[in-house]
Amino acid sequence: MPQAKALIVRGPSCSKNSRHKKKVEQDVGRTTSIGRWGTPLALAATISFVATPGPTQNVAVPGTPNFPVEDQPSLNFYGLPGLVDMPSAQPMPNGQLAVGISSFGGQTRTTLSFQFSPRISASFRYIGIQDWNDNGFGTYRDRSFDVRFLLSKETKRWPAITVGLQDFAGTGIYAGEYIVASKNFAQPLGLPGRMTVSAGLGWGRLGSSGSIGSISDRPSFDPGDTGGELSTDQWFRGDFAPFGGIEWQVNERFGLKLEYSSDAYEPETSRGVFERDSRINFGAEYQINRDVRLGAYYLYGSEFGVNAQIQFNPRYAPTPLTIAGPRPVIVRPSRESNPAAWSTGWADSQSAPATIRGAMAPELEEDGIRINALSVSAHTAELRIVNTRFGSDSIAIGRTARAMARVLPASVETFRITLVRSDLSVSTTTIQRRDLETLEYQPNAAGLLLARTGFDEASPDLPGAYVPDDLYPRFSWFVGPYLSPSYFDPDEPVRADAGIRASFKYNFAPGWEVSGEARQRIVGNVDDGRLSDSVLPRVRTNAVLYAQEGETTLENLYVSRVWKPADDVYARVTAGYLESMFGGVSTELLWKPVDSRLAIGAEANYVQQRDFDQLLGFQDYDVATGHLSAYYQFDGGYTGQVDVGRYLAGDVGATFTLSREFNNGWKVGGFFTLTDVSSEEFGEGSFDKGINLTIPISWFTGQPSTRSVSTTIRPVQRDGGARLSVPGRLYETVREGHRLNVSNDWSQVWE
Amino acid sequence: MMMRRALAGLGLALILSACAGGSDRETVSTQAELFNTIRGINTARRDLEARPPTPSRAQLDSRKAGLLEVSFEKRGLVAFLAPYSRRTDPLPGQIVVWRSTDGGQIVQRDGLLISTKGLGNDLASADIAGTQAALRQQHVHQSVNRTHYLRRDDNTQAALALNCTIQTAGHETLTIVERQFSTHHLRETCINGQGQAVNDYWIDNSDGTILKSRQWVGPELGYLSFRLLKK
C-alpha cells in the first residue's frame, strides 16, 4: 500500500510558474526590502547562479581530493556480484541497491539486491522460463530470495570469502549454496587494468555438474510445492562441485569474463528449455556510466545471453539537494554599547506575542514553516512550528532559530522550538541564542551546536501561549492521476490500473481531520487476473473482484482525531472507510519518549469488509483485528519492529520487520509474518513476506520536500497474516521529530 | 477501443496537469509535487543564460555596496554577488556573506571560502585558520592543515582533511575592470590520499586583501574563482 511519509506538505501549484522560479522572485524582493545589509542587485537580477545541477554534475572530478570510494563489483546473471552465471566473493558498496536483468536460452531473471550491511546482502528475484511446458505452466514463473554473507574481507594477501544461499525459501528451482573466494590483482602480469580471480564450491544447483564429492542426501526440486519455507534441511547437502573464473577489467569501461560453471541446468535441459553443451561461459561487458553496465555473453556452448546491470546507492542522489541559502543570524549589540536594546519592559505588553508573530511569520512562511503557537517572556521564547517543506526537521529548526534571532528582543536568550507533526507536539529543541551568534561560521558549526542543544519531550499544549486564530479550519484538495500496480500474476508479471483521483483534507480543529479520496479508473488490466482459490476468509485475495466491480470508487473517507494524553503518549481514533477493502473504527495508542530508541504501540480495530464496488456498502465479513507493537531503532539506521496480534482473516501471530534507513529518507526493509494458519491453508508461499521501499521525492528532484513514495512488494498476496491498512498510523510521524532522527540530520541545521 | 484510447489520452493530459488547492498550502498528493518539480527543473535549465556582462568601472565606482564576481567552473556559470552580511565572531577575520539573486550564498572569512549554500553538495563549514594566518603573514613554504566539512547526499556531513603547502608564485600586476593592482600571487597546494587541489590567491600589496582567487570547494563542486570587483 503506497502511503505518504508525512501528511503535511506545501502544495504544488497548477500554474506553469514553478516553485523554483517563485523562490527567485521572492528573494529578489527581499534583497530590496532588507536594506540593512544588502542593496538591490541591479547588475545581475536575472542571472541564475545556483541553476539546477544536472544528474552528472555531482560526480567528483578525478584526481582531486575525495572521500574513499568503495569498489563496485560487476554482477552475474543472478544479479549478484559475480562472473557470468557463477558468483564471486566481493560485496557491493555498503547500502548499494542493484537491479540485474539477464536473459539467455529463454530464461529471464530480474533481481533486486540490497547490500544491507557491509557484510550482508539480500536479493529478491523474479524469473520466467519459456518453453517449460510442464507442471501446468507454459512459461514457468517463480520468485526467489537469496542472502550472502561476507566471511572475510579482502586484504593485501588474502582473498575475500563469501558464503551464499540461493533461493533459500522459495519452491527451490534455483536452490543452491556456495562458498567462494575472490582476489583482485592490479596490472596482472604486466597487463593493464585489474583482474579478479574467483573460485568456489557449490551445492544444490551449483553442485550439479562436475561434482567432486557429496555430503549426505538432498531432495530434488519440486515445482508443485507451495514453497516459502526455509529449506534448512537441504543447505550444504548433497553433491558439491567446484566453479570459478576470471574477470579482467581492461580499462575503466571495458571488461572480459571467463568462467567454469558447475550448474548442470538439469530441470531446464530435461524439459527442452535449452541445450547445454559446455561448462564454459564467457562474455564482454561495457560500463556506460557509474550506474549502468551492459554485457553480452556466450553460455553453455549453445546460447547467447545479455545482462543489464544497474547499480546505485541511496546515499548518492541523482540530483543533490539544493536549498536556497538562509538569512544570516543578526548578532545583538553588546549590552554595554546599547543598554536600551536589552531592556525587558516589552515582555509586560499584552500585544508582544502577536507583534512578534507578525514579524516572524512572513520570514518563516517563505521557508514553509507555520507558527502554531508562541509563548514569550523576557528571557525565553517557545515557538511551536509545523515544517511543511524540508525533509529534515533540523533544517526547519535551524531556520526557525535564525528567524527568532533576527526578530526577538535582545533579552531573550533561550529559544525553545517545538515540532508539531500532524497536530501533535512531538519534541522541543532548546538552543541558546549566544551559541547561534558565535557558532554560525565556525568550523564544524553543526557539531558544535549539537553539543550545546537540548532535546526534550513536548507538553501536549503550551499553557498561556498565543495561538494564531487563523490556524483552523484548513482545507486542501487535489485532483490528479493515480497508478496502482499489481505484481507477479502467473499470467502477466505486471498488471496495473490507472486513472484519475480526487482527494480532499479538512482540518476543522486541532487534531481533527476529515479526509477522503475518490477514483475513476480509465485503463487497467488488474480485473483480468486470476480469481482467488483461498480457503481462508478472502480478506486480500479478492483484489480481482474489487477491480472488476469498482470503476468509480471511494478509496477512503474517514474522520480521525489525534491527541497527546500525556507527554510521551500519543493517541489516534479513526472511523470510516479506512481503505479500499475495509471500513470501520481504528484506535491506536503509542508510547515513545523523545530520547528513547524503543517505542511501544497498541492498535485495536473493528472493521467490516467493503463491497466489491467500493462505494458505501459492506459485505457480511467483519473482524476485530489489532496488534501490540514494539519498535526499536538500532545504531546505523537499522530499525526493527515486531507486531503481535490478530490479523484480518482472524489468524493470530506476529510480523517481524527489519529495515535500513538512510539519513535522506530512503528506507529498505523486509518483513515476514507467521500466524496460526498452516502453510497448506495459506497457499502459495506458505506465509506472508515482502519488501518495503520508501524513497523521498527530494532524492529525485533535489528540491526540498517532506514527501516520499512507498511501496510494498510481496512475492504473493494471500489472506493469512494480512494487516489492515490504516491511514495516519502514529509511529513514523512521531519518531521523525524525535531526538535520534533530528540529531542524525543535525548537520543540516545551518542550511 | 477508440474510447479507451481517448480516455488514455485524457489520463495522460491529467498526469501533466495535476492540480491542487485549498485555503492553505497543504495538499494530498506526492505525484503532483514530483511532476511540478520536474517541470520546474526543466524551466530552470532553460533559463540559464550565457555569461552576464561584467560591470564597467563607472558602474563599480558609483556602486555603494560590494560586488564579488564568482565563476563556477564546473557548471560554466558566472554570477555577481552582493554582500548580505558582514560580521566578526570569536575567530579572527572579517566574515562576509555574499549572495546571488537565486538563493546561492558564498561565505568568506578574510576572502577565504568557508561555506557555500544553495549549490548542492555544499561546503557546510571549513577550518582554514592555518591558511588564513599564513596568507596574512605571507609566509611561504609554510605547511598548514585545513578541513572541509562537506554536505553529503544522505543529509550527513563529512570532514575532508587536507595537508597544504603555501608557496609564492611571484609578484603580479592584476587588472580588475580597468584598474591595476600590485599583488603577491600565493599558491596553496593541498593533498589527501585521493588527489590534489591547488588554491591560488592574488593579495593586494597595499592592504593584504585577497583581490582574486581560485579556491577548491569539494569533490563534487570543484573550483570556484573569485574576483573582488568592489570591496
pLDDT tens-digit series, residues A320-368: 888 999 999 999 999 999 999 999 999 988 899 999 999 999 999 999 9
The domain of A619 spans 474-742
- What is the Cα gyration radius of chain B? 23
The residues, any chain, with a CB within 8 Å of residue A618's CB and separated by 6 or more, are A583, A608, A609, A610, A611
Mean pLDDT over the full length of chain B: 84
Question: A586 and A655: one domain?
Answer: yes
Domain boundary among A260, A279, A312: A312
pLDDT for A553 equals 96
Distance CA B174, CA B226 (A): 13
Residue A61 counted as domain residue: no
**C-alpha angle A545-A548-A553 in degrees, rounded to nearest 5:** 100
Residue A727 counted as domain residue: yes
| Cβ–Cβ gap B125/A445 under 8 Å | yes
The pLDDT confidence band at residue A312, using thresholds 50, 70 and 90, is: very high
Mean pLDDT over the full length of chain A: 88
Question: A328 and A284: one domain?
Answer: no
How close B73 comes to chain A (CA, Å)?
11
pLDDT for B138 equals 83
Res. A17: pLDDT tops 60:
no
The pLDDT confidence band at residue A57, using thresholds 50, 70 and 90, is: low
Q: Angle between the A19-34 and B30-47 helix axes, to the nearest 10 degrees?
A: 70
Question: A629 and A644: one domain?
Answer: yes
Residue A28 counted as domain residue: no
Res. A594: pLDDT tops 80:
yes
Residue A657 counted as domain residue: yes
Q: Is A394 exposed, middle or buried (0-12, 13-18, 19+ CB in 10 A)?
A: buried
The percentage of residues in chain A with a pLDDT greater than 70, rounded to a whole number, is 91
The percentage of residues in chain B with a pLDDT greater than 70, rounded to a whole number, is 79
**pLDDT tens digit sequence for B127-151:** 999 999 999 988 788 899 999 999 9
Highest mean pLDDT among A41-45, A70-74, A578-582, B22-26: A578-582
Q: Pick one of 1.10.1040.10, 1.10.4190.10, 3.40.50.410, 2.40.360.10 as the CATH number of B57-230.
A: 2.40.360.10
Query: Is the Cβ–Cβ distance between A234 and A218 less than 8 Å?
Result: yes
pLDDT for B4 equals 52
Query: In what helix (H) or strand (E) does residue B30 lie, and over which residues does it extend?
Result: helix B30-47
Query: Is the Cβ–Cβ distance between B31 and A498 less than 8 Å?
Result: no
Residue A407 counted as domain residue: yes
Question: A527 and A674: one domain?
Answer: yes
CA distances from B124 to B113, B150, B152 (A): 11, 5, 10
Distance CA A719, CA A537 (A): 7
The pLDDT confidence band at residue B35, using thresholds 50, 70 and 90, is: low
Res. A371: pLDDT tops 80:
yes
pLDDT for A45 equals 34
**pLDDT tens digit sequence for A513-568:** 999 999 999 999 888 888 899 999 999 999 999 999 999 999 999 999 999 999 99
pLDDT for A32 equals 24
Of A35-39, A401-405, A490-494, B63-67, minimum mean pLDDT range: A35-39
Q: Where are the domains of chain B?
A: 57-230
- Beta bridge partners, A387, equal A369
Res. A151: pLDDT tops 90:
yes
Domain boundary among A470, A497, A518: A470
The residues, any chain, with a CB within 8 Å of residue A7's CB and separated by 6 or more, are A422, A505, A728, A733, B26
Higher pLDDT pick, A25 / A290: A290
The pLDDT confidence band at residue B48, using thresholds 50, 70 and 90, is: very low
Question: A339 and A454: one domain?
Answer: yes
| Stretch 237-296 of chain A: residues touching chain B, C-beta under 8 Å | none
Pairing of strands A380-387, A414-421: parallel
Q: How many C-alpha atoms does A283 have within 13 Å on its Cβ side?
A: 30
Q: Is A680 exposed, middle or buried (0-12, 13-18, 19+ CB in 10 A)?
A: exposed
pLDDT for A24 equals 31
Question: A734 and A706: one domain?
Answer: yes
| Cβ–Cβ gap B41/A701 under 8 Å | yes
Question: A326 and A391: one domain?
Answer: yes
Question: A537 and A556: one domain?
Answer: yes
Tell me the average pLDDT across A484-510. 89
Query: In what helix (H) or strand (E) does residue B45 lie, and over which residues does it extend?
Result: helix B30-47
**pLDDT tens digit sequence for B166-184:** 999 999 999 999 999 999 9
Residue A608 counted as domain residue: yes
Tell me the average pLDDT across A446-469. 93
Domain boundary among A423, A438, A470: A470
The residues, any chain, with a CB within 8 Å of residue A460's CB and separated by 6 or more, are A425, A563, A564, A565, A566, A567
Of A22-36, A365-379, A454-468, A511-525, minimum mean pLDDT range: A22-36
| Cβ–Cβ gap B149/A13 under 8 Å | no
Of A46, A475, A707, the CB nearest to B30: A707
Question: A226 and A194: one domain?
Answer: yes
pLDDT for A38 equals 29
Task: CATH number of the domain at A193, please.
Answer: 2.40.160.40
Question: A631 and A646: one domain?
Answer: yes
Q: Which of A27, A31, A48 to mutate to test the interface with B (most CBs of B within 10 A)?
A: A48
**C-alpha angle A402-A26-A706 in degrees, rounded to nearest 5:** 65
| Stretch 622-681 of chain A: residues touching chain B, C-beta under 8 Å | 662-666
Question: A335 and A308: one domain?
Answer: no
Of B19, B83, B102, the CB nearest to A37: B83
CA distances from A437 to A330, A415, B63 (A): 7, 13, 30
Higher pLDDT pick, B181 / A67: B181
Residue A188 counted as domain residue: yes
Among A148, A96, A83, A97, which Cα is nearest to A122's? Answer: A148
What's the total number of domains in chain A? Answer: 3
Q: Angle between the A352-366 and A393-407 helix axes, to the nearest 10 degrees?
A: 130
| Cβ–Cβ gap B52/A44 under 8 Å | yes
| Stretch 5-64 of chain B: residues touching chain A, C-beta under 8 Å | 7-8, 10-11, 14-15, 17-41, 43-45, 47-49, 52, 55, 59, 63-64
CA distances from B203 to A453, A466, B133, B209 (A): 40, 54, 13, 6
Question: A673 and A550: one domain?
Answer: yes
Query: Is the Cβ–Cβ distance between A352 and A378 less than 8 Å?
Result: no
Of A556-565, A664-673, B48-57, minimum mean pLDDT range: B48-57
Distance CA A308, CA A79 (A): 9
